[in-house]
Structure 1
Amino acid sequence: MTAAVATEDARTDWLAVSVVVASGIVAALQVGKAAIAMPLVQAEFGLDLGTLGWLASIFAVLGMVGGIPVGTLAIALGARRVLLLGLLAIALGAFLGAAAPRFPMLLASRVVEGLGFLLITIAAPAILQRVASPAQRDIAMALWSCFMPTGIALAMLAGLWLTDWRMIWQVTGALAVAAMVLTVLTVPNTSGGTRPSGTALAGDAGAVLSARGPVLLGFIFALYALMFFALFNFLPVLLMQRMQVSLAAAGLLGALASAVNIIGNLAAGLLLARGVSRVGLIVAASLVMGLSAIGIFLALLPDSATFLLCVLFSMVGGIIPATLLSSAPVLAPAAGLTPVVIGLLMQGSNLGQVVGPVAIGSVIEAFGWPSAAGLVGGAAVIAVLTALGLRGAPGRKV
C-alpha cells in the first residue's frame, strides 16, 4: 500500500487539500482577470468587443473539447504531475501575456493559460479523492467547488487597485509559481504504478461515455452552467438598466452575487456528509434557480428585491456543482476512472458557458428581457428531470 492510499484510509490530509484548493483559486484568477482587464486591454490595443471576447471564451472552447482527453492524461501521468504541469502552463502563459507587444501574442498566451486551467481543474479533484478520507470526501469536494467563485471575486476586487493589466498578469503568474512550490512540498504523489497503454486509455474514455451516470452528470453540469452564466454574463447590464446604478457599482454588486455561490458550495458538502440525497439536492437547487430567474427577468418585484433574487439564485445554485463533483467518484464505472468522469463534467460545464450567454443574448435581443425567463426556467425543468434519471444509475460505494 502506498503512502497516499494509507492517508486516504486513515485520515484527511487537510494541508494537501488546502494547497490543491488554492491552486484551483489561482486557476480561476485567470478567468476573472480577463473580465476585469478587458477595458484596459481594449484601450491599449484598440480592439472591438467581439475580438476582445476571445480573451475569456478561449478557456471555455478548450474545456469543451479537452475535458476527457485531459482526464485520461491524468490517469497516464498521475494527477499530481498534471496539476504541476497546469500551474507551470499558467505561469508561462501569464508571464508571456504580460510581455505581449500585440494582441495576437496575448491571445496565444491565453491559450497556454487555458490549457493550464483545464489541467488543474481535472487533476485537482482526482488528488482530493485520494488525500481525503471517505467520510470527509464530500466536504473536500465542496471546498474544491468554491475555487471558481472565489477566484473570480478576488480578481474583480484586485482590479479595483491594480490599474495596469500587465501587472495583473505578472501577479497571477507569480501566484502560480508559488502554488507550484507549495504543491511540490505538501501534495503526495497519488499515482498508482504502471502507466496504462494508449489502448487502455481509449477504453477508459469509452467506458465513461457508455455509462449512464457520468453522462447524466455532465449534462446537468451543462444545464447549470447555461443557467448561471446566462444570468451573470449580463448581470451588470441588467443592474445598470433596471436599478440605474453606475458601472463600478454594478461590478461590486455582481462580485457580491457571484461570491455567495460559495455558501451553496459549502452547504452541499455539509448536507452530503450528513446523508442528504444527491438527487434531492440537485432537484431542489434547480427549482430555486428556475423560479428565481423567472422573478428576475420578468421584473415581478422591486429593484432591491430583484437583486436579492440574484443573490438567492447564485447561493442556492452553488449546491449543484459541489454535488456533481462529489458524485463523480460515486458514479464512475471504476475508482481509477474518476479523472475521466471529472473531464466529462468539465466539458459539460464549458459547453454551458459557451451556449448560455449566446442563447440568452440572442433571445433578449429578439424578444426582450422577459423572454430570458422562459429559457432559464426551461433549462431548470430539464435539469430536474435529468437529475431524477440518476436514480438507479449504476454506482459504487466510496
Structure 2
Amino acid sequence: MTAHTSPYETKTAWLEVMLLWAAGISVAMQFAKFSIAYDALLIHYQEGATLTGAAISVVGVVGLIFGVSAGVIVGRVGYRRSLIGALALGSMMSFLESLMPNFELMMVCRVIEGFSQLGVVVAAPTMIARLSAPQHRSITMGLWGTFFGVAFAISGLFGEMILRHYGMGSLFFAHGLFIGGVACVLFFRLERNNTLYENQSNTQQSKLLAQMSQVYRNPRNILPAAIFLFYTCMFVSLLTYIPRLVEDEHLRSIIRTCLPLMSIAGTFLAGTLSQYLMRPQNVAIMAYSVIAGSAIMLSFFTSAPVLFCILAAVMVLSAGMVTGASMSMIPAIARNPNEQAQTYGLVAQLGNLGSTIGPPSFATMLSLFGVQGLVALVLVFCVCGGGLSLIAKRFKNNSSSL
C-alpha cells in the first residue's frame, strides 16, 4: 500500500486519531503533574521556588532548543517508531520519578521527559493528518490542538485527588501507567506499514543541517509556527493574570475554571470553521481581531467584574481558535508528511519560546501600567499574529503559492 492508495484518502481512522490524541494528552501531563504538585515539591525537596520552577519548565526548554532538529530526525527515523519509543521513554521516566529520587536525578528525568514530549508532539499530529480524510482533516487537527488544555483539565480533576490522598509518588506512578498504556495500545493498533505516514521523496538523503536550514527558510514551515508563537506569548499569561484582576473571590474561582474550558471550545470551533466554512488563515485573522477588540473593551470595564469576566472569556475562546487554526493550517499548506513533521517541530520550538517570554513580559507590563499594560501587549501580539495570518493567505492548500 502506498501513500497514494491509502484508504484514509476517503475515510478517517477515528479510533487511531483518538488514540494519537490521547498520546498528546499523556505527554502534556508531563507539564501538568509537576504544576499541580508544585507546593508538594517545594516541601519535599526544599530547593526553593526558582529550582522547583525550573523542574516544571525544563521539559519545554528541550523543545525550545531541539524542536526543529526533532522535526527532521523523526521524519528520518519513522513516525510510528518515534512515537512508540517516545511514549515508552516517558513512561519509564514517570516510574523512576515515582521513586522520588534526589533532586539532581529528578531533573535528569525531567530533561529526558522533554525529549519524550518532543517526539510525540512532532510524530502524532503528522500521523493524525495522514490518517484523516480530507473532509475531516481540519476537525482532527482542531481536536489535536486541545491536547494541552485537556491534559491540564484532567490533571486538575483527578491528579489533585491522587496527590491529596496518596502523595506525589502515586501521582507520578499513575502517569507512568497511563502513558505506558497508551504506548502499548498504539503499538498493537497502528499499522506497521510506514508508507501510510512517510513521504516517498528522497529528501531524507539530504544532510541534517541543510535540512534544518531549509525549514527556517520555508514559509510553509515558518508561517503556521510563527502564528502559533504569538498565541503562546499570550495564552499562559491570560490564564495566569486575568483571574488575579478579578477582586470578587467567587467570580475569580469561576473564571479560573472556565477559561481553560473556553480555550478548548475555541480550538474545536476553529477546527470546524476551517473544515466547512473558511480557510484556516481566515479563522486565525478573525480570532486575532476578536482578541484585540475584546482586549480594548476590557480596559473600559475593570470596575464591572461580570462584564470583565465575559470579555476575558471571549478573549480566551478566540485564543483557542488561533490554536485550532494554526494546527489546521499545517496540513493545509504543507506539501508532504515530512514538511508537516518539520513544521510541528518548529511549532514546538516557537511555542516554548512564547511560553517562556510571555509571562515575564505581561508581569512587567502589569506592574508598570496595570490593565492598560496588559491590553497594550495583547494588541502588539495580535497585530503580529494577524499580519502573519494575512501573509499566509498567499499559499493555497497543498499547492504552490499564489
Normalising by structure 1, report the TM-score.
Answer: 0.91
Q: CA deviation at 1:81?
A: 1.1
Q: Does 1:214 align with 2:221?
A: yes
Structure 1 segment 256-267 matched on structure 2, within 5 A? 256-267=258-269
CA contact (8 A) 2:130 2:337 kept: no
Question: RMSD value over aligned CA atoms?
Answer: 2.4
Q: Secondary structure at the match of 2:394?
A: coil
The equivalent of 1:226 in structure 2 is 233
CA contact (8 A) 1:4 1:188 kept: no
Residues 225-248 of structure 1 show CA distances to partners (whole Å, capped at 9, x for unaligned) of 001122123345444xx22459xx
1:199 maps to which of 199, 206, 209: 206
Q: Secondary structure at the match of 2:161?
A: coil
Q: 1:389 to 1:13 in 2, by over 3 A?
A: same
Q: CA deviation at 1:298?
A: 6.2
2:181 maps to which of 174, 178, 183: 178
CA contact (8 A) 1:143 1:266 kept: yes
- Aligned partner of 2:248: which letter? M
Structure 1 segment 5-84 matched on structure 2, within 5 A? 6-84=6-84
Structure 1 segment 223-372 matched on structure 2, within 5 A? 223-239=230-246, 242-244=247-249, 250=253, 253-296=255-298, 299-372=301-374
CA contact (8 A) 1:91 1:176 kept: yes
CA contact (8 A) 1:298 1:369 kept: no
Residues 96-138 of structure 1 show CA distances to partners (whole Å, capped at 9, x for unaligned) of 2121332222222111222111111110011112211122111
Normalising by structure 2, report the TM-score.
Answer: 0.90
Give distance in 1, aligned partners of 2:243 and 2:391. Answer: 35
Give distance in 2, aligned partners of 1:370 and 1:42. Answer: 34
Give distance in 1, aligned partners of 2:295 and 2:91. Answer: 38
Q: Which is worse superposed, 167-176 or 377-386?
A: 377-386
Q: CA deviation at 1:339?
A: 0.3
- Aligned partner of 1:170: which letter? F
- Aligned partner of 2:115: which letter? L
Residues 160-204 of structure 1 show CA distances to partners (whole Å, capped at 9, x for unaligned) of 412112221111111011001110121223633789656344443
- Aligned partner of 2:140: which letter? A
Q: Secondary structure at the match of 1:161?
A: helix
Q: Secondary structure at the match of 2:194?
A: coil
The equivalent of 1:105 in structure 2 is 105
Q: CA deviation at 1:144?
A: 0.9
Q: 1:335 to 1:94 in 2, by over 3 A?
A: closer
Give distance in 2, aligned partners of 1:229 and 1:107. Answer: 23
Give distance in 2, aligned partners of 1:332 and 1:316. Answer: 24
The equivalent of 1:156 in structure 2 is 156
Q: CA deviation at 1:69?
A: 1.0
Q: Secondary structure at the match of 1:372?
A: helix
Q: Which is worse superposed, 202-211 or 115-124?
A: 202-211
The equivalent of 1:140 in structure 2 is 140
Percent identical across equivalent pairs?
Answer: 23
- Aligned partner of 1:92: which letter? M
Gaps of 5+ in 1: none
Q: Secondary structure at the match of 1:228?
A: helix
Q: CA deviation at 1:277?
A: 2.5
CA contact (8 A) 2:64 2:348 kept: yes
Count of aligned residue pairs for this structure pair: 393
Q: 1:47 to 1:135 in 2, by over 3 A?
A: same
Q: Does 1:166 align with 2:173?
A: no
CA contact (8 A) 2:68 2:215 kept: no
- Aligned partner of 1:243: which letter? D
